[in-house]
Amino acid sequence: MKAQPTASHFIDGTWVEDAAGRAFDVVFPATGEVIARLHEATPAVIDRALAAAERAQRDWARLRPVERGRVLRRAADLIRARNADLSVLEVLDTGKPIQETEVADWPSGADALEYFAGLAPTVTGETVPLGADFAYSIREPLGVCVGIGAWNYPSQIACWKAAPALAMGNAMVFKPSEVTPLGALQLAAILTEAGAPPGLFNVVQGFGGVGAALVSDPRTAKVSLTGSVPTGRKVYAAAAEGIRHVTMELGGKSPLIVFEDADIDSAVGAAMLGNFYSSGQICSNGTRVFVHRAVKARFLEALKVRAEAIRLGDPLDPGTQMGPLVSAAQVAKVRAHVDLALREGARLVTGGAGEGMFVPPTVFAEVTDAMTLSREEVFGPVMAVLDFDDEAEVIARANATEYGLAAGVFTADLARAHRVVAQLQAGTCWINAYNLTPVESSFGGVKASGVGRENGRAAIEHYTQLKSVYVGMGPVDAPY
């Protein structure tokens, strides 16, 4: 099998197999070819991973931050040197086109490792003058962190969680989605090669039950999940049972607002990136595109021409711009949404159901707020275009959702751009851009889209806890 890893799991610095775990196939979505067969982690494997992480974390936390950073920096360099091969593996695992994975997946993971490597030595506490006495604070690691990933950006998600966790002195046990289990194993091997001590970053495979076992284990101090809102609710509740820290990166139904004075070509380009990149399987996508009625015709005309020119095909071909969806289950879900949008009265501008594992870039116009397409996350290349007439109206409609992951505004009037963004209920906003998520800037959602932040300085707070130390400088004045 062309992508069979050495073993299913990576624990305590080495590959681990336990054939007693349920076997599952890894499929290249473009052809249906089975590229690897792995085993789900048994309770013994889970226990081994957590025990290894607990052991490794104690010594790792005692290193100077600059020494920890050096390991992460080396891992980033190794990833960059091997980006070509890693990107092919990512294509096989996810079905995304090689022209995307080569620039977006592992490279952004390497950025995260490099960024947090540099940030680690800058994390300090504060001193608090208290007259003759004083207090100081220390940012301490949490301990063993559990990372649970979704299937859409498997290697990037693993890096985005591992980098801040390890930089701050934690260890991690990571469970990828069983749909895309291969990239995280490579990260574990690369970190080990870069000098990470055995047990610092472990990968165990499995379905939701393995994630649930990790979340409820008493050795787990923190859980960072990227996934859907229903899974987020379950994982958050399970973590609450043990008063564990959480980061929840969940779904969205984000608005992208195009005002009448916007640069229409840029707005069309952004709407396409925010709906068709990765076959639309991106949580922060701007799937409700509100277009001012005055420019709607122009917007739709340009969009149709450009969407129909997108080249679908073999994701390993460098000329391919859009690959298949990740799984047959996801294809069925997306097609059901296309059918429902038609039945609910949306107008199909281009695209449709597609064939096999492929769904073409699809645009619906005359979508209303009440339609299912405006309310539910599709996670496929299906754009809903909605009309609007004025600013206050579009802000209210943009916010009328349980989600709050992201939002975008296109306008030439920068005062309006900032005024609108200030009122949008979203954790990540773009002005005259969309879906750019550089590691230097924090990322995350509000409302049902999540809690906590990844990336940027903000991530430090989600992988550390604060210790306050009061220092008495004189005799204790007790009244008894």
Q: Which of 108, 226, 287, 435 binds ligand NDP (CB under 6 A)?
A: 226
- Active-site annotation holds for 249: yes
Binding-site positions read 27, 93, 149-151, 175-178, 243, 251, 283, 377, 447, 450
Residue 447 C-beta: closest distance to ligand NDP, Å: 12
Near ligand NDP in 171-200, by CB under 6 A: 175, 177-178
Residue 191 C-beta: closest distance to ligand NDP, Å: 20
Whose Cβ is closer to ligand NDP: residue 411's or residue 435's?
Answer: 435
> Using the rule CB under 6 A, is 249 a contact of ligand NDP?
yes
Q: Which of 235, 349, 371, 398 binds ligand NDP (CB under 6 A)?
A: 235
Q: Which of 231, 279, 401, 435 binds ligand NDP (CB under 6 A)?
A: 231
Of 161, 222, 253, 296, the active-site residue reads 161
> Using the rule CB under 6 A, is 379 a contact of ligand NDP?
yes
Residue 214 C-beta: closest distance to ligand NDP, Å: 7
Q: Which of 149, 351, 354, 408 binds ligand NDP (CB under 6 A)?
A: 149
> Using the rule CB under 6 A, is 204 a contact of ligand NDP?
no
Stretch that binds ligand NDP, among 137-145, 150-158, 302-310, 416-424 (CB under 6 A): 150-158
Residue 319 C-beta: closest distance to ligand NDP, Å: 27
Whose Cβ is closer to ligand NDP: residue 223's or residue 394's?
Answer: 223
> Using the rule CB under 6 A, is 251 a contact of ligand NDP?
yes
> Using the rule CB under 6 A, is 164 a contact of ligand NDP?
no
Binding-residue pattern over the window 96 to 135 for ligand NDP, x denoting contact by CB under 6 A: ----------------------------------------
Whose Cβ is closer to ligand NDP: residue 11's or residue 349's?
Answer: 11
Residue 209 C-beta: closest distance to ligand NDP, Å: 7
Tokens, residue 421: 């963004």
In this structure, are residues 408 and 392 in contact, taking their beta carbons and an 8 Å threshold?
no
- Active-site annotation holds for 161: yes
> Using the rule CB under 6 A, is 169 a contact of ligand NDP?
no
Q: Report how many residues bind ligand NDP under the rule CB under 6 A.
A: 29
Whose Cβ is closer to ligand NDP: residue 41's or residue 363's?
Answer: 41
Binding-site positions for K(+) read 27, 93, 243, 447, 450
The DSSP bridge partners found for residue 383 are 363
Of 40, 100, 145, 283, the active-site residue reads 283
In this structure, are residues 85 and 201 in contact, taking their beta carbons and an 8 Å threshold?
no
Choose among 191, 231, 278, 154: nearest CA to 11: 191
Residue 147: other Cβ atoms inside 10 A: 26
Near ligand NDP in 400-439, by CB under 6 A: 405
Stretch that binds ligand NDP, among 57-65, 98-106, 120-128, 247-255 (CB under 6 A): 247-255
- Altogether, the residues listed in the chain come to a count of 480
- Active-site annotation holds for 454: yes
Choose among 11, 16, 38, 64: nearest CA to 201: 11
In this structure, are residues 165 and 145 in contact, taking their beta carbons and an 8 Å threshold?
yes
Distance CA 394, CA 366 (A): 15
Residue sitting closest to ligand NDP (CB): 211
> HSE of 367 in the Cβ direction (CA atoms, 13 Å)?
29
In this structure, are residues 38 and 182 in contact, taking their beta carbons and an 8 Å threshold?
no
Q: Angle at the Cα of 134 (from 129 to 136), degrees rounded to 5?
A: 95
Amino acid at 456: G
End-to-end CA distance of the chain: 77
Whose Cβ is closer to ligand NDP: residue 224's or residue 362's?
Answer: 224
β-strand pairing of 9-11 with 14-16: antiparallel
Cα 161 to Cα 171, 246, 249, 295, 396: the distances in Å are 11, 12, 11, 41, 34
Q: Which of 128, 212, 295, 342 binds ligand NDP (CB under 6 A)?
A: 212
> Using the rule CB under 6 A, is 228 a contact of ligand NDP?
yes
- Active-site annotation holds for 222: no
Catalytic residue positions? 161, 249, 283, 454
Residues found near ligand NDP in the complex (CB under 6 A): 148-152, 175, 177-178, 207-208, 211-212, 215, 225-228, 231, 234-235, 249-251, 283, 377, 379, 405, 445, 450
